[in-house]
Amino acid sequence: AQAAAAAGPKGHLDPIQVLSTAWYNLSDVTPRVEGSCTACVVLLDPKSGKIRAANLGDSGFMVVRVIAYGRPAFGLRSEGHGGPPSSGVRAEVVYRTPQQEHSLGHPYQLGHHDTSDSPDMAEKSEIDAREGDWIVMGSDGLFDNLSESQITAEILAAQALMDKGSPPRACATGAAHALLKQSFEVSNSTDARTPFSTAASAELNMVYRGGKQDDITVIVAV
């Protein structure tokens, strides 16, 4: 992290450099670490309020902003809002990392073999965060099985609890557990319509239904 800070602008941590440093350090481990993985690094600068991130592969994160009705929506995306109309608020996905795949089910991955990808191929992003924003990080087991509207519905439920006085950390933890449970249940479904089934249907030119059984990791912060 110190090396990354020295390399970043004005001493800021550079997420690409953090990723690169970790990758190169592992390359020196004996015996060599086998296998490969996707990677997502998200850094929040408390002084500027900026989120700086590097994402490689089909893991990723989204920034969800809860907005009261009657106020102009802010963000890059308008889809993915959930919650009943009577709630008085909606959730906007103001940023989401794009998936990096060589082909369907073949994501970019870091490794130490000849065909692995490298940290400099990661998608780098910088987002202006606002107080009260929610960050949802996850592996493809989350994003392949749950839609944006399903994810934002859980965030709205957590926001409602927080508005009633529940501690933010507990609300974020509860949302992560709820998303994990729902993702796992959908991953075992044979007839659910999921982001993965939609992508597979388009890629394979056939009707595909059901979830995708895969590793599921979820982190939620507010």
Helix (H) or strand (E) holding 26: helix 15-27
Cα 46 → chain centroid: 20
Terminal CA-to-CA distance of the chain, rounded, Å?
23
Q: List, in sequence order, the alpha helices (H) in 91-194.
A: 140-143, 148-163, 168-187
Nearest alpha-carbon partner for 40 in 102, 103, 107: 107
Helix (H) or strand (E) holding 74: none
One pLDDT digit (tens) per residue for the chain, 222 residues: 455 444 555 667 899 999 999 888 877 776 777 788 999 999 999 888 999 999 999 999 999 999 886 554 443 343 444 544 435 888 999 999 998 888 887 889 888 777 888 899 999 999 999 999 999 999 999 999 999 999 999 999 999 999 999 999 999 999 999 999 999 999 999 989 998 888 888 877 778 788 889 899 999 999
- Do 199 and 159 contact (CB within 8 A), yes or no? no
Q: What residues does 95 pair with on adjacent strands?
A: 63
- Do 18 and 54 contact (CB within 8 A), yes or no? yes
Please state the φ and ψ torsions of residue 140, each to the nearest 5 degrees. Answer: -65, -20
Q: How far apart are CA 72 and CA 83, in angstroms?
A: 17
